[in-house]
């Protein structure tokens, strides 16, 4: 990929009109690039891959095959929602792969963040390889790469690294969003007619809850991440914060502390809550929330999530803290 610099002449996409111009241009470019060939897309259900899917469904319809891999690190209810929206409502070719045990077995005992990312990325490639081999004549691989992924150093979107595919499966890349910032991706998604619930959905990293289950992933701690995340999302939605706070999620560190429940001493994990606002994910500030809501969410998590006795709120801006904990 020689050309990885956003053209200086490219206007920032802030309006439906500019988004439509971008879409028209991309539809023509995608049709020219893909022709009558077939294209494969890793559809995680996040904003970026959903917008890429919508663009490609418009551009080449059934020539696109979406693969949704459930690696066990997805949010509660997410695989079901991806199937509903893309297979049932948008009539896309969608292959659902249940790879939960496969990923979690590979990740067992691995604590180092980049090694975890690497395992998840490599396993993704293997799953794709298997799916691609089952399909005839795939020539292109579409990806939801956006500009911050290119700008920031480090293996962001590790699963997008296709360097590991074997020689006989060297797909040509299709990256229609690679010069867009996140806010622009949302404007484009809206203009494509995607539902608001999808367009304004908070970003979700490729390695998913895996980077929020700090250290070596265990199934019980992963479940605590998933359940606490579901409570946080439910409360944010109920309180009108869902489309307003840019990214909010929970983290479960790999240490325990003492607590007390129903008069009995406990020794359980804390849940850390991170809620941040940003325009482009390069810098971020902590969302200011009503303290009553903070207390209510804390109470729900400590009472409803198994193995958790404490809630901590992360009030660190980026920099110095990254948005994710790993």
Q: Binding residues for ligand XMP, per CB under 6 A?
A: 117, 156-158, 203, 205-207, 247, 281, 318, 322-324
Query: Do the Cβ atoms of 261 and 277 come closer than 8 Å?
Result: no
Closest CB to ligand XMP among residues 79, 205: 205
How close are the terminal C-alpha atoms of the chain, in Å?
Answer: 27
Least distance from C-beta 46 to ligand XMP, angstroms?
A: 7
Least distance from C-beta 159 to ligand XMP, angstroms?
A: 7
The C-alpha atoms of residue 235 and residue 238 are separated, in whole angstroms, by: 5
Least distance from C-beta 323 to ligand XMP, angstroms?
A: 3
Closest CB to ligand XMP among residues 209, 271: 209
Q: What angle do CA 272, 280, 122 make, to 5 degrees?
A: 70
Least distance from C-beta 99 to ligand XMP, angstroms?
A: 17
| b/e code 235-256 from CB counts within 10 Å (16+ = b) | bbeeeebbeebbbbbbbbbeee
Closest CB to ligand XMP among residues 79, 206: 206
Question: What is the 3-state composition of the chain as percent helix, strand, coil, each rounded to the nearest 5?
Answer: 45, 20, 40
Least distance from C-beta 247 to ligand XMP, angstroms?
A: 5
Query: Do the Cβ atoms of 269 and 251 come closer than 8 Å?
Result: no
Closest CB to ligand XMP among residues 46, 268: 46
The C-alpha atoms of residue 199 and residue 77 are separated, in whole angstroms, by: 17
Query: Do the Cβ atoms of 280 and 251 come closer than 8 Å?
Result: no
Least distance from C-beta 243 to ligand XMP, angstroms?
A: 16
Closest CB to ligand XMP among residues 68, 157: 157
Closest CB to ligand XMP among residues 94, 323: 323
* 307 φ/ψ sector (left φ>0, alpha ψ -120 to 50, else beta): left
């Amino acid at each position: 990929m020689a050309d990885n610099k956003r053209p200086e002449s490219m206007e920032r996409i802030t309006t439906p009109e500019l988004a439509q111009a971008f879409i028209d241009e991309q539809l023509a470019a995608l049709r020219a690039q893909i022709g009558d060939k077939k294209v494969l897309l890793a559809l995680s259900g996040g904003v970026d891959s959903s917008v890429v899917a919508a663009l490609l469904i418009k551009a080449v319809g059934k020539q696109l095959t979406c693969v949704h891999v459930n690696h066990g690190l997805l949010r509660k209810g997410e695989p079901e929602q991806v199937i509903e929206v893309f297979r049932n409502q948008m009539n896309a070719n969608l292959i659902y792969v249940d790879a939960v045990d496969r990923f979690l077995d590979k990740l067992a005992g691995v604590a180092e963040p980049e090694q975890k990312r690497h395992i998840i990325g490599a396993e993704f490639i293997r799953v794709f390889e298997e799916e691609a081999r089952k399909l005839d004549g795939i020539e292109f691989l579409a990806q939801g790469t956006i500009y911050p992924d290119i700008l920031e150093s480090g293996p962001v979107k590790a699963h997008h690294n296709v360097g590991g595919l074997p020689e006989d499966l060297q797909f040509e890349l299709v990256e229609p969003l690679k010069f867009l910032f996140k806010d622009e991706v949302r404007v484009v998604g809206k203009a494509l007619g995607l539902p608001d619930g999808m367009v304004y959905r908070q970003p979700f990293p490729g390695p998913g809850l895996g980077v929020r289950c700090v250290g070596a992933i265990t199934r019980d701690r992963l479940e605590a991440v998933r359940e606490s995340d579901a409570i946080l999302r439910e409360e944010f939605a109920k309180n009108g914060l869902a489309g307003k706070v840019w990214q909010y999620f929970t983290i479960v560190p790999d240490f325990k502390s003492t607590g007390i429940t129903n008069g009995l001493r406990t020794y359980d994990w804390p849940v850390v809550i991170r809620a941040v606002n940003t325009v482009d994910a390069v810098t971020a500030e902590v969302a200011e929330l009503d303290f009553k809501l903070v207390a209510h969410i804390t109470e729900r998590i400590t009472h409803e999530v198994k193995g958790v006795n404490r809630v901590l709120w992360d009030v660190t801006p980026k920099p110095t803290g990254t948005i994710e904990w790993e």
